[in-house]
């Protein structure tokens, strides 16, 4: 790896493994099993995104599109077709197919594991939003009700995975997906989300604050509008891309990611989108 590239990548990437766009592994240590574990861990997030985007755009998931990739894992709970406008549906469908490709790419390199039980019900997302606002929203948030709700729900998912990827080939597309979602929401940042009387920007800020709280590792997440001093070069409030003071991307450890996707703030307490916990040796090592 070239020194400049190493400098520009988050520290956690350079100290672990990096996999290039053609999935060739550059090992950062002598523990081959550890490298496999780190490559398998993102499968949990890829399954989540694939099913959410497939159902949202098509009304059906991996069991219909490519059953072999699910490896006999249980079907997701509560996932369904979203009421999307044509542009949003087109974008989400593209994302869905990209996630299918990501699953296949990882499984072509490592054995992988079956799809874990995923809770993609409107109740699961409503719980996230209730936690973000510190009170129950009325009516409960429904990610499948319309395009804005679905984009806000999509904001919940990819960024968590993006900050934890140790696979450079996946990172490029995942970062692109996150950027597109943020851009689509940024265009609507002043729009009031019906019927809550809260803007899109405030929703993203609340979600980001919740993820910071659950991750328990400081501020690694930002909404679409921030105080000017926290914007790029301390000169803008707009925050279409989330980054640190040097405009470099944040990184999260697997432990931090588990705390967030479980919604428990504890990598050993499953819940949220993974009622029975995530799979793979890294995730299972924390389960009691």
Q: CB 236: neighbour CB atoms within 10 A?
A: 13
Which one, of 177, 40, 178, lies nearest residue 103 by Cα? Answer: 40
Length of the chain counted residue by residue: 288
pLDDT in tens, 39-89: 899 899 999 999 999 999 999 999 999 999 999 999 999 999 999 999 999
Q: What is the pLDDT of residue 158?
A: 52
pLDDT in tens, 91-126: 999 999 999 999 999 999 899 999 999 999 999 999
pLDDT in tens, 152-168: 999 998 554 444 445 56
Answer for the pair 222, 231: CB distance below 8 angstroms, yes or no: no
What integer best gives the mean pLDDT of the chain?
86
Rounded CA-CA distance 16/177 in Å is 24
Whole-structure pTM value: 0.87
pLDDT in tens, 171-187: 778 888 999 999 999 99
Residue range 196-203: mean pLDDT, rounded: 98
């Amino acid at each position: 790896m070239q020194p400049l590239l190493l400098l520009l990548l988050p520290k956690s990437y350079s100290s672990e493994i990096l996999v290039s766009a053609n999935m060739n592994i550059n090992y950062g240590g002598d523990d081959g099993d550890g490298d496999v574990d780190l490559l398998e861990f993102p499968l949990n997030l890829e399954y989540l995104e694939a099913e959410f985007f497939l159902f949202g755009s098509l009304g059906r998931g991996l069991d219909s599109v490519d059953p072999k990739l699910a490896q006999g894992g249980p079907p997701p709970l509560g996932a369904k077709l979203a009421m999307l406008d044509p542009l949003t549906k087109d974008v989400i469908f593209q994302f869905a197919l990209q996630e299918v490709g990501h699953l296949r790419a990882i499984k072509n390199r490592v054995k992988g594991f079956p799809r874990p039980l995923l809770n993609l019900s409107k109740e699961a997302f409503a719980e996230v939003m209730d936690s973000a606002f510190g009170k129950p929203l009325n009516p409960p948030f429904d990610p499948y009700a319309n395009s804005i709700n679905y984009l806000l729900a999509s904001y919940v998912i990819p960024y968590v995975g993006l900050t934890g990827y140790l696979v450079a080939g996946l990172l490029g597309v995942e970062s692109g997906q996150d950027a597109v979602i943020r851009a689509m929401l940024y265009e609507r940042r002043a729009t009031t989300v019906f019927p809550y009387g809260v803007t899109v920007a405030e929703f993203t800020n609340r979600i980001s604050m919740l993820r910071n709280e659950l991750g328990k590792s400081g501020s690694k997440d930002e909404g679409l509008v921030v105080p000017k001093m926290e914007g790029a070069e301390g000169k803008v409030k707009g925050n279409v891309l989330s980054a640190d003071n040097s405009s470099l991307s944040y990184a999260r450890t697997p432990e931090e990611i588990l705390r967030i996707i479980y919604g428990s703030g504890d990598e050993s307490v499953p819940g949220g989108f993974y009622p029975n916990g995530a799979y793979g040796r890294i995730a299972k090592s924390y389960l009691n």
